[in-house]
């Protein structure tokens, strides 16, 4: 019997984008179910992720896997015959996990939210922190084409979705990431040329319009 794969997601979610890329890398067909997080959470989401009540949730043959980095690793383990995302060497694998975890521990999403929701000192502090995080990632990238080496890997999948939000960060934060971190932007541009990435990510203009809409809802001028 064929696998049943469902992704509960919300289109601008960078966490959901990770799972979309991983599924695309493996060539897995799935049903995409959009959660409208701007209105009520669906009974299905509450049932499938009763602990965090957040998207994304991957549902494989009726069983839920929540938390995007865990779901991406699950995909890599279950469909292990194609496009491995994590290295086979245990040490290299630990390092890939370290840097993907770094992305979440540093809370890029929350730091960046202060770029487009705050002004003055708070916004300046967010800008500084954001650039510091990106510079550390640039160091880790070093001379590699991707974090995964010569092909897309776990850290690339964890990180590239945030690039779709950069237009909003830069316009409302009034700064230019490429000026500060050209190597990072060159990496992002390489990633979005890959088919599994390009077909899984919304374009920056669409996410920017979403940011504008949320700012309006929050009453930010
Ligand atoms: N650590 C989680 C983060 C998921 C997350 O923050 N999802 C957001 C959408 S981008 C959400 O569902 N928010 C709804 C809420 O917080 O109630 C993951 O990696 O999956």
Tell me what the pLDDT averaged over the chain comes to. Answer: 96
Q: Would you state the structure tokens that stand for residue 148, as one six-digit string?
A: 């995964």
The model's pTM is: 0.97
The rounded Å distance from CA 185 to ligand 1 centre is 25
> Which ligand 1 atom lies nearest to the CA of residue 16?
20
The rounded Å distance from CA 57 to ligand 1 centre is 10
Q: Which residue has a Cα nearest atom 10 of ligand 1? A: 13
ipTM over 0.85: yes
The rounded Å distance from CA 96 to ligand 1 centre is 22
Per-residue model confidence as pLDDT tens digits over 43-89: 999 999 999 999 999 999 999 999 999 999 999 999 999 999 999 99
Per-residue model confidence as pLDDT tens digits over 191-220: 999 999 999 999 999 999 999 999 999 998
Q: Which residue has a Cα nearest atom 16 of ligand 1? A: 54
Q: Would you state the structure tokens that stand for residue 211, as one six-digit string?
A: 């940011």
- Out of 13, 71, 202, 211, mutate this one to test ligand 1's pocket (max ligand atoms within 8 Å of CB): namely 13
Q: Which residue has a Cα nearest atom 17 of ligand 1? A: 54
The rounded Å distance from CA 142 to ligand 1 centre is 30
Q: Read off the pLDDT of each residue in 94-102 and give the average, rounded to a whole number.
A: 97
Per-residue model confidence as pLDDT tens digits over 109-162: 889 999 999 999 999 999 999 999 999 999 999 999 999 999 999 999 999 999
Residue 72: burial class (beta carbons within 10 Å; 0-12, 13-18, 19+): buried
Please say if the pLDDT value at position 38 is more than 90: no
Q: pLDDT band at residue 221, thresholds of 50, 70 and 90?
A: confident
Which residues approach ligand 1 with their CB closer than 6 A? Answer: 10, 13, 15, 37, 53-56, 67-69
Q: Return the sign of the alpha-carbon dihedral for residues 2, 30, 191, 155.
A: negative
Helix residue ranges per DSSP H, the chain: 14-26, 43-48, 68-78, 90-105, 108-117, 120-141, 154-159, 166-173, 177-180, 182-191, 195-198, 204-217
The per-residue pLDDT for 154 is: 98
The rounded Å distance from CA 1 to ligand 1 centre is 32
């Amino acid at each position: 019997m064929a696998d049943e794969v469902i992704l509960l997601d919300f289109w601008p979610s960078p966490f959901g984008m990770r799972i979309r890329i991983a599924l695309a890398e493996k060539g897995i067909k799935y049903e995409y179910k959009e959660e409208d997080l701007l209105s009520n959470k669906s009974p299905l989401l509450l049932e499938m992720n009763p602990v965090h009540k957040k998207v994304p949730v991957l549902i494989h043959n009726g069983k839920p896997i929540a938390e995007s980095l865990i779901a991406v690793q699950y995909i890599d383990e279950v469909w292990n015959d194609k496009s491995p995302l994590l290295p086979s060497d245990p040490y290299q694998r630990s390092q890939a996990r370290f840097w993907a975890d770094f992305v979440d521990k540093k809370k890029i999403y929350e730091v960046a939210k202060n770029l487009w929701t705050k002004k003055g000192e708070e916004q300046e502090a967010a800008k500084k922190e954001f650039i510091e995080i990106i510079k550390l990632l640039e160091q880790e990238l070093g001379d590699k084409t991707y974090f995964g080496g010569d092909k897309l890997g776990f850290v690339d999948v964890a990180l590239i979705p945030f690039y779709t939000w950069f237009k909003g960060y830069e316009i409302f934060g009034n700064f230019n990431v490429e000026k500060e971190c050209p190597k990072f932007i060159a990496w992002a541009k390489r990633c979005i040329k890959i088919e599994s990435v390009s077909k899984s990510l919304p374009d920056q203009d669409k996410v920017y319009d979403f940011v504008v809409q949320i700012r309006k809802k929050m009453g930010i001028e």
